[in-house]
Structure 1
Amino acid sequence: MGKTSLATVVAHRLAGAYPGGVAGVAVADDSTADELLGSVAAGFGVTRPQDLTGRPALLFVDGVDRAPAAVGAAMAELLKQVPRLRFLATGRQPTGLAEERVWPVIPLATPPVTLSAGTVAELVPYPAIGLLLERLGRVRRTRLAPQEIAPLAALVRHLGGLPLAIELAAARGRVLTIPEILGSYADRSPRAVVPLQVVVAESYRLLAPAEQRALRLLAMFRHRWSRASAEALLDTLDGELADVVHLLDRLVALGLLSVSGDHAVRFRLPAAVRDFAADQAAAEGELEDARKRHARLGPDTGSGYGVVP
């Protein structure tokens, strides 16, 4: 599930631990700190936030990244006024408060290409499949046909396990079969691709310019690659990029990069992210140079070198 859905479930499960109650506020792009403070008071049914003092309460703040400065100011003020108030916040970036504990919502695990599943039951243990089936169940009442099982796994792999991308794809199940949904993405149909681009663009705009350029270069990898491969590709950005490890960690936290392996760690850009970043490279006039940089790299076991078309 996505960040909002996950946080909603967590808030419901924790409700009994907060006798002061649980309330939520949805942040808008133009929210101000004063507006958020007013919404908090209204949500808890009190005149002022200070009236919550002495009663442990939980505040769910959804969409921190829409107005990070306003949210940060409001939360800092609330911490001073109501020391026992606890926050559960969602967003594509942290609030920056000293007391914050960050829990990244990474892409959901997908079935490996090597798995040849003959039944849906073999795919259900993979969270990406579970989310897709749950969302499909809301828009169609018919059971999956046998010929839809293999495309089901291929679809979540194509979407890189991104929860919101999976939800968008499932919504198309009202009128399309699984093979038809997969085909629409494989053909890069504008009607299918544009919603995914919007999802990726929201995270992309949170990156610093040097990080955006690095992501555009990383889009040259078609399959999995290592940290060493990334460092080799990005070595000419030393003056702009502070640390490749920090970059990879940030991309993972924003849901733009997936990680696999315990010892020999490998990274991979989900197809929707890679396509978006490659399009951005073309728009910036960097694509040809990026391809040449990639072509100069030597072999790297497990990286799956292959430049974007």
Structure 2
Amino acid sequence: MEPLAFGRYTLLPGRGELQAAGGSPVALGPRATAVLMALIAARGSVVSQNSLLAHAWPGQDIHASNLRVQIAALRKALGEDRELIGTVAGRGYVFTGRLSAVPAAVPDSRMIRPCTGQLPFPMAELIGREAQLQDALARLERCRLLTLAGPGGIGKTQLALAMAHRTAALAAGSVAWAELADLRDGCGEQDVAKAVACALGLGAAAGVGAGLHVPATLASYIGEQPMLLVLDNCEHVADAVAGLVEVLQQRCPQLRLLATSRQPLLAAGETVWRVPPLAVPNPDVVDGAHLLQYSAVQLFVARVRAADSGFCPAPRVAAQIAAICRRLEGLPLAIELAAACVPALGVEQTAAGLDDMLRLLRRGRRNAPVRHQSMRAALDWSYALLAEPMRCALRHLATLPDGFSLEGAVAALAPQGLSSFEAIDALAGLVAHSLAQVDHSGTPPRYRLSTTTRAYALELRGGGEN
């Protein structure tokens, strides 16, 4: 992707930077870069608000106020030349500059590490995951596509973010991050490719909104440069992501891909790694100091201390915390939501409230994604992605005890009209979607639902879904 020059400015799309002659580069960010590229591509024609929204936020339903923020950022970067971006009342915006030859001193953006500076910063310390981080990085070195899979709230995104920053620190090529959670369910390969192109700061340059085949353009841009591309929250667009990553793998020999998803992508060359829960102590561990060495307990204490810096659990309280973490089976989101209750309820009452855990675990961070603001919301997101036979299976398998067999599942689902094949297929789907767990240590394999998933499924049955 070549630089673009107009007036005294040079735009470096790959880096998302605007540089004035004799000045320092100004970071625009991927959205503002996409907006500016779309305006430039129009060559003096008015570009509507809706068209600019589609360029900068492909496949997403975004309020127009977000576009105004990006326009304001561009005008600020242009300073005294802010009038290069004009407003046409009731119609949209227009770029009034004229493109010129690029100065020879400007480096080719394809030789630049374009996206490392645009990685999201972790919101909190990653607790108890160093061993898993090293394991996942080692697996990524041995494959070209690694999918971190697991239930909602297991910590896939935070682990992927740590992997991305660790890789960026090694200076081994570009590192790019594409967030896919806001894409519509079931959107196509072209829409996913547009989102990735905008995350790379390409926007209109990759054919977004221009009718071009964006996956091919994206592959041409990446080419042979070494890059780690992270695709976060893929589960609702898994089919489209699978198609895109296969195109990129075929045409970009030095590209590595890291995906997070509640289900595998089922793409060629994919290695799936199930993210494990945090470590919880066995019931026979009672020493307070020993309990605090377990990562689940450490996370709980850290989150309580973030709200109450004086929190220092006595041995009896540490044992109650350990019991909470065991009951929540080391699931990080559930542990954080439980810890959020402690400043108001105390540890003992929080533990007692887990008898109605979906009602209790609903005080997430105010600005967290909706699907992470409560355990019910996290499970709603997964449930919405299930076909009806899998939904039926989830509701009825929740009545079975832990460690049920395949035959037991078939028998439980037969009264619901599912044949043996349909029941087996539905159970396999629940395993793939990280809503059921399978234990292969014995013969035959045994299945179970997690505590939170079981509570959710039983609530659905109680609400009249059969």
Name the TM-score, length of structure 1 as normaliser: 0.75
Mapped contact 1:20–1:52 kept (Cα < 8 A): no
How many angstroms apart in 1 are the aligned matches of 2:275 and 2:253?
27
Q: Could you say which residue in structure 1 is the equivalent of 2:352?
A: 183
Unaligned stretches of 5+ residues in structure 1: 287-309
Q: Could you say which residue in structure 1 is the equivalent of 2:183?
A: 29
TM superposition outliers: structure 1 runs of 4+ over 6 Å:
none
Q: Could you say which residue in structure 2 is the equivalent of 1:42?
A: 201
1:111 matched to 2:281: yes
Counterpart pick for 2:290 among 121, 126, 129: 121
Secondary structure of the equivalent of 1:83?
coil
Structure 1 120/23 Cα, relative in aligned 2: closer, same or farther at 3 Å?
same
Bigger strand fraction: 2
The CA RMSD over aligned residues, in Å, is 3.3
The sequence identity of aligned pairs, in percent, is: 31
How many angstroms apart in 2 are the aligned matches of 1:152 and 1:233?
36
Counterpart pick for 2:398 among 211, 219, 234: 219
How many angstroms apart in 2 are the aligned matches of 1:252 and 1:160?
17
1:68 matched to 2:246: no
Residue 248 of structure 1: CA displacement? 4.7
How many angstroms apart in 2 are the aligned matches of 1:70 and 1:189?
32
Bigger helix fraction: 1
How many angstroms apart in 2 are the aligned matches of 1:211 and 1:89?
24
Mapped contact 2:403–2:446 kept (Cα < 8 A): yes
Does 1 or 2 have the higher relative contact order (CA < 8 Å, sep 6+)? 1
Counterpart pick for 1:3 among 153, 156, 175: 156
Residue 58 of structure 1: CA displacement? 0.2
How many angstroms apart in 2 are the aligned matches of 1:267 and 1:110?
20
Task: Identify which range, 148-157 or 52-61, moves more after superposition.
Answer: 148-157
Residue 120 of structure 1: CA displacement? 4.3
Secondary structure of the equivalent of 1:186?
helix
Secondary structure of the equivalent of 2:264?
coil
Task: Identify which range, 260-269 or 215-224, moves more after superposition.
Answer: 260-269
Unaligned stretches of 5+ residues in structure 2: 1-153, 207-216, 363-372
> What amino acid sits opposite 1:210 in the alignment?
P
Mapped contact 2:395–2:457 kept (Cα < 8 A): yes
Structure showing greater Rg: 2
Q: How many residue pairs get matched?
A: 281
Residue 147 of structure 1: CA displacement? 2.9
Secondary structure of the equivalent of 2:269?
coil
Residue 213 of structure 1: CA displacement? 1.0
How many angstroms apart in 2 are the aligned matches of 1:175 and 1:182?
13
- Map 1:1-309 to 2 at 5 A: 2-15=155-168, 19-27=172-180, 28-30=182-184, 32-42=191-201, 49=218, 50-112=220-282, 114-122=283-291, 124-125=293-294, 127-141=295-309, 142-188=311-357, 190=359, 192=361, 195-236=374-415, 238-239=418-419, 241-242=421-422, 244=424, 247-248=426-427, 250-258=429-437, 262-263=441-442, 266-284=446-464, 286=466
Secondary structure of the equivalent of 2:177?
strand
Secondary structure of the equivalent of 1:19?
coil
Deviations 1:251-281 (A, max 9, x none): 3443323456833654432232112111222
Residue 249 of structure 1: CA displacement? 5.0
